[in-house]
Chain A
């Protein structure tokens, strides 16, 4: 059952922005974490679209279609260390914001269902979609 709440983040564009959170509470193969939801994209797309992007990403890049691979990839830092998924949300958000920015800067982008996305945020969508099963 879907639950919508709103969390305040101060990570996007340096300003406090209310981020629509589309998390699920129970019954999913992957437990929902707020950081699985890409910040900026969540201001543009609804949960259904994020889920569709995630599913399409996994179909298109089948090598990265399970939770472990996605989680490792999303949480890998620039020095190739993997940030523990249990880290504080703010720490993970900060990492992801930097990674997404960096992805765009170096052209590490993917086209999924027409969306030109950073690979990291596409993988966030994939993780998000797994929480919605």
Chain B
């Protein structure tokens, strides 16, 4: 069922069993789980079914620290969320990503990879991925031409990625959501406040507003914030009428530990003999799976480095691609998408003629976790948006740990390339000097916002517990990558869907009293 919140009488009181706030990959995945259950689900989405500049404007905010994309265009604010323009890269987090690593401060999830495994398997469906197979052997059986580089598997391994078509959740699941009798989707329903009981121990209702001047209240037994990392933190911090520091923020953790994936070109691989590297190549719309080079858990521990992967692209293509940070600089995500497509097309034209790719020279591109850093954070600005909400401000802060890790990853990779005798690796200039802690102008992120409501069994160290429940508040949960304790190397979508399915199962148990 769909209701446009602009069309109902202002002051409406909406009631349900569960209120899901935000209809992106997490919110939609959760709502789908509840179709045809005896429970009334209220799904509130700030935007409509299409891009709306006024709604998108609500995401605008300042950034400080490491140069970043404009906040306004870094996420999409309508039904389907940022899946409206995502690229569809998916892979699982590694076992080590969930572990407490003594060389990575603030690492260690309260859940293990093993606990998430069954949910990963289920999560494959929504983004229309292939089988739950992330082992090299499986994909080699499908295509024997996917031959790995001859590296020591105790040092470098091949991490498999799968590719969503990419599924636009808004298009794909709109009908299922709208036709479901027990799912009540309210569009143009921006949550601007979360109200609690006097003791701030449970949420009583949330306030939703829109540009039509309508204000409504939503009451539910359980509330799930699924608005992405920046907006989840913003909402909790702004809900400060009874909790002056914001909800769930008694220990000043809300908004902190914001993480991105550093995505940055780092080196070139020169081969002595041509090799098409089919295992590692991405042919958009065709490739179902490919590998990226990753450093083993043992070597990460030995060298005390972060987890990251290295992707390969023919240099003839890559050298014609502008850095993303230079492409995605407009406040309007549509213009950025146009620039990106234009840049991709231009680069693709350079390699369109037969023989344009020599298969001897490959750009090596890093995708690496950002170390959890309490100073990398989302806070509230004094400036308010059109609906009266304080805007979010992002301070993105990197440390030398990330750079040292990247340098070591390529040191190990260069060594393996040398041992294998297949070629040589050449670092980009910014990685040459070990004493150079600066980041080059083309440093970018993957538009992957993580952290800000991190998970921990101890309220002093996190915002939510292992069930994604906000510490101290009995019926408020967060869904999405804001729960991440560490960022791992893979894009966050698959893992956030898995976590959301896990949360959904948990809520089903709670609500049914089982």
Closest beta carbon of chain B to A79's beta carbon, Å: 22
Q: Which residues in chain A, 76-133, are within 8 Å of chain B measured between CB atoms? A: 100-101, 103-105, 107, 109, 111, 113-118
| Residues from chain A with Cβ under 8 Å of B431 in the complex | 114
B427 touches A111 (CB 8 A): yes
| Residues from chain A with Cβ under 8 Å of B270 in the complex | 44-45
Nearest first, the 9 closest Cβ-Cβ pairs linking A and B are A116-B414, A104-B418, A114-B427, A44-B270, A43-B272, A104-B419, A114-B426, A116-B425, A115-B426
B424 touches A115 (CB 8 A): yes
Other contacts beyond A100-B418, A104-B418, A116-B410: 16, CB < 8 A: A12-B421, A13-B421, A40-B423, A44-B270, A44-B272, A104-B415, A109-B411, A109-B414, A109-B418, A111-B411, A111-B432, A113-B426, A114-B267, A114-B428, A114-B429, A116-B415
| Residues from chain B with Cβ under 8 Å of A100 in the complex | 418
Q: What secondary structure prevails in chain A residues at the interface with B? A: mixed
B418 touches A116 (CB 8 A): yes
- In the complex, which residue of chain A has the Cβ closest to the Cβ of B270? A44
- Mark A2-19 against chain B: 1 for CB-CB distance below 8 A, else 0: 000000000011000000
| Residues from chain A with Cβ under 8 Å of B427 in the complex | 111, 114-116
B411 touches A116 (CB 8 A): yes
B423 touches A44 (CB 8 A): yes
- In the complex, which residue of chain B has the Cβ closest to the Cβ of A116? B414
Q: Could you tell me the distance between the alpha carbons of A105 and B155 in the complex, rounded to whole angstroms?
A: 12
Closest beta carbon of chain B to A20's beta carbon, Å: 12
Does A41 sit at the interface, judged by CB under 8 A?
yes
Contact of B272 among A40, A105, A107, A115 (CB under 8 A): A40
| Residues from chain B with Cβ under 8 Å of A104 in the complex | 415, 418-419
Q: Could you tell me the distance between the alpha carbons of A113 and B424 in the complex, rounded to whole angstroms?
A: 13
- Mark A32-62 against chain B: 1 for CB-CB distance below 8 A, else 0: 0000000011011100000000000000000
- In the complex, which residue of chain A has the Cβ closest to the Cβ of B434? A111
Closest beta carbon of chain A to B415's beta carbon, Å: 5
- In the complex, which residue of chain A has the Cβ closest to the Cβ of B419? A104
Using A43-B272, A116-B424 as known contacts, say yes or no to A109 and B432 having CB atoms under 8 A apart: no
* Most chain B CB neighbours (cut-off 10 Å) among A100, A111, A117: A111
Using a Cβ–Cβ cut-off of 8 Å, how many residues does chain B contribute to the interface with A?
22
Binding site for A on B (CB under 8 A): 267, 270-273, 410-411, 414-415, 417-419, 421, 423-429, 431-432
Q: Could you tell me the distance between the alpha carbons of A70 and B282 in the complex, rounded to whole angstroms?
A: 44
Q: Could you tell me the distance between the alpha carbons of A44 and B274 in the complex, rounded to whole angstroms?
A: 11
Q: Could you tell me the distance between the alpha carbons of A45 and B271 in the complex, rounded to whole angstroms?
A: 11
A40 touches B424 (CB 8 A): yes
- In the complex, which residue of chain B has the Cβ closest to the Cβ of A40? B272
* Most chain B CB neighbours (cut-off 10 Å) among A44, A104, A116: A116
| Residues from chain A with Cβ under 8 Å of B417 in the complex | 116
- In the complex, which residue of chain B has the Cβ closest to the Cβ of A118? B418
Closest beta carbon of chain B to A14's beta carbon, Å: 10
Q: Could you tell me the distance between the alpha carbons of A41 and B418 in the complex, rounded to whole angstroms?
A: 10
30 A-B contacts (beta carbon < 8 Å): A12-B421, A13-B272, A13-B421, A40-B421, A43-B273, A44-B270, A44-B271, A44-B272, A44-B423, A44-B424, A100-B418, A101-B419, A101-B421, A104-B415, A104-B418, A104-B419, A109-B411, A109-B418, A111-B411, A111-B427, A113-B426, A114-B267, A115-B427, A116-B411, A116-B415, A116-B417, A116-B425, A116-B427, A117-B424, A118-B418
Closest beta carbon of chain A to B304's beta carbon, Å: 16
Closest beta carbon of chain A to B55's beta carbon, Å: 46
| Residues from chain B with Cβ under 8 Å of A117 in the complex | 418, 424
Q: Could you tell me the distance between the alpha carbons of A118 and B414 in the complex, rounded to whole angstroms?
A: 10
- In the complex, which residue of chain B has the Cβ closest to the Cβ of A117? B424
| Residues from chain B with Cβ under 8 Å of A115 in the complex | 424-427
| Residues from chain B with Cβ under 8 Å of A43 in the complex | 272-273
Q: Could you tell me the distance between the alpha carbons of A115 and B423 in the complex, rounded to whole angstroms?
A: 11
A116 touches B426 (CB 8 A): yes
B424 touches A107 (CB 8 A): no
| Residues from chain B with Cβ under 8 Å of A111 in the complex | 411, 427, 432
Q: Could you tell me the distance between the alpha carbons of A103 and B427 in the complex, rounded to whole angstroms?
A: 19
Closest beta carbon of chain A to B277's beta carbon, Å: 16
| Residues from chain A with Cβ under 8 Å of B415 in the complex | 104, 107, 109, 116
Closest beta carbon of chain A to B418's beta carbon, Å: 3
- In the complex, which residue of chain A has the Cβ closest to the Cβ of B413? A116
- In the complex, which residue of chain A has the Cβ closest to the Cβ of B361? A44
Q: Could you tell me the distance between the alpha carbons of A61 and B432 in the complex, rounded to whole angstroms?
A: 15
Q: Could you tell me the distance between the alpha carbons of A76 and B244 in the complex, rounded to whole angstroms?
A: 72
* Most chain B CB neighbours (cut-off 10 Å) among A103, A105, A114: A114
| Residues from chain B with Cβ under 8 Å of A107 in the complex | 415
B419 touches A41 (CB 8 A): no
Closest beta carbon of chain B to A121's beta carbon, Å: 9
| Residues from chain B with Cβ under 8 Å of A118 in the complex | 418
| Residues from chain B with Cβ under 8 Å of A12 in the complex | 272, 421
| Residues from chain A with Cβ under 8 Å of B425 in the complex | 115-116
A41 touches B424 (CB 8 A): yes
